[in-house]
Amino acid sequence: MAEQADAAGATGPRVRPRRLRRTPTLRRLVQETSVAAQHLVLPVFVREGITEPVPISSMPGVVQHSRDSLLAAVTEAAELGLGGVMLFGVPEHKDATGSGALDPHGVLNLAITDVVAEVGDALTVMSDLCLDEFTDHGHCGVLTPDGAVDNDATLAIYADMARAHADAGVDMVGPSGMMDGQVRVIRDALDRDDHTDVSILAYSAKYASAFYGPFREAVDSSLQGDRRTYQQDAPNAVEGVREALLDVAEGADIVMVKPALAYLDVIRRVRDAVDVPVAAYNISGEYAMVEAAAARGWIDREAAILETLTAIRRAGSDVVLTYWAAEAARLLR
Ligand code: PBG
């Protein structure tokens, strides 16, 4: 209303928001949101049985690491001042119960040990705590005889998996399977084993999304069916807040919304509802879209990367998981 009155002045508008946009210095002064390396987490894939990194074709620039190339990648992440790395294991052999997940010499548990030894004092080392990378059917849990994902039988395995990751030295486990009660079971298992210092980054509001497509290639998953009986439906935002509140009550130290771009409103709602840090996962399909369009010269790649990360932070996330973490840190220097 005041602006309308001002606009009627004889010499033109009195209120001119453009004044604060005139120079880079002014724009920098009034910038509301920032992206910094310290808040970025790099997800990395490590594959069993390879000696050279294998490119992931639907995620140009991202690879499945060998044990050696993983160490080079996390060393670079540490030098760039990233906040952390999220480790995903791709086992050579998968089975119905994902038994490779519990093997202390399994690919993920070894990777945790290696990475903690290499950069444990410089980065927060996180692990994806889920069975889908390890099961031959590609689901996040074990199945009942009629093929449903068995919530409570899966919880028992998650508890063992949390202990295995903690024994390997992880700082933070990331339960991502969307089983009811998973945070509580994991917290209890860790505490009973004197791993009270290991924290939980809960994938709380995780939606069944078409944008996970490239991730399936990244972890060699041959998912049968879909995840709609355990991951959330895209239309539901209140339910996302409910999941986050439940996870906080169960002991989550950080709650996460995933994917990020199609769920920026959920990030905001969760940020306003909880009193713990909120993370968001800028996922494989979000990465692939920008890379594919940029490769055709249709958008400015670097500008699109920084704008994407800024939007995810502006929506309310404190921590951002992104395949561009290292690159963004370089651009921001
Ligand atoms: C489950 C998990 C998934 C992703 C991270 N953890 C796949 C899924 O739930 O379907 C997806 C990450 C991405 O797409 O970048 N272990």
3-state secondary structure 41-65: EEEEEEECCCCCCEECCCCCCCEEE
Q: How far is the CA of 4 from the centre of ligand 1 (A)?
A: 49
Q: Is the CB of 207 under 6 A from ligand 1?
A: no
- Collapsing DSSP to helix, strand or coil, 275 comes out as coil
How is residue 131 written in tokens?
């069975």
How is residue 34 written in tokens?
């920032």
- Collapsing DSSP to helix, strand or coil, 125 comes out as strand
Q: Is the CB of 128 under 6 A from ligand 1?
A: yes
Q: Is the CB of 182 under 6 A from ligand 1?
A: no
Q: Is the CB of 215 under 6 A from ligand 1?
A: yes
pLDDT score for 6: 55
pLDDT more than 70, % of the chain: 97
Per-residue pLDDT reduced to its tens digit, 107-161? 999 999 999 999 999 999 999 999 999 999 999 999 999 999 999 999 999 999 9
Instruction: Please confirm, yes or no, whether 206 is among the known catalytic residues.
Output: yes
Which residues share a beta bridge with 36? none
Q: Which of 94, 165, 206, 271 is catalytic?
A: 206
pLDDT score for 156: 98
Whole-angstrom distance, CA of residue 291 vs CA of residue 289? 6
Taking the CA of residue 216 as reference, the ligand 1 atom at the shortest distance is 7
pLDDT score for 7: 56
pLDDT score for 3: 52
Q: Is the CB of 284 under 6 A from ligand 1?
A: yes
Task: For residues 311-320, give the mean pLDDT.
Answer: 98
ipTM: 0.96
User: Domains of the chain, with CATH numbers?
Assistant: 34-332 (3.20.20.70)
Q: Is the CB of 286 under 6 A from ligand 1?
A: no
pLDDT score for 222: 83
CA angle 227, 228, 230 (to 5 degrees): 75
Q: How far is the CA of 263 from the centre of ligand 1 (A)?
A: 15
Task: For residues 188-209, give the mean pLDDT.
Answer: 98
pLDDT greater than 60 at residue 4: no
Q: Is the CB of 283 under 6 A from ligand 1?
A: yes
Eight-state DSSP code of residue 185? H
Task: For residues 219-233, give the mean pLDDT.
Answer: 92
Q: How far is the CA of 215 from the centre of ligand 1 (A)?
A: 6
Whole-angstrom distance, CA of residue 250 vs CA of residue 181? 8
pTM: 0.96
| Of residues 118, 119, 89, 117, the one with CA closest to residue 104 | 89
Per-residue pLDDT reduced to its tens digit, 53-94? 999 999 999 999 999 999 999 999 999 999 999 999 999 999
Q: Which of 163, 165, 187, 258 is catalytic?
A: 258
pLDDT score for 224: 85
Q: Whose CA is nearest to atom 5 of ligand 1?
A: 176
Q: Are 266 and 255 in contact (CB under 8 A)?
A: no
Mutate to test the pocket of ligand 1, among 94, 176, 207 (most ligand atoms within 8 A of CB): 176
Q: Are 85 and 123 in contact (CB under 8 A)?
A: yes
- Collapsing DSSP to helix, strand or coil, 167 comes out as helix
Which residues share a beta bridge with 86? 43, 126
Q: 284 a known binding residue?
A: yes
Per-residue pLDDT reduced to its tens digit, 245-288? 999 999 999 999 999 999 999 999 999 999 999 999 999 999 99
Task: For residues 290-316, give the mean pLDDT.
Answer: 98
Looking from the CA of 158 toward its CB, the CA atoms found within 13 Å total: 31
Q: 216 a known binding residue?
A: yes
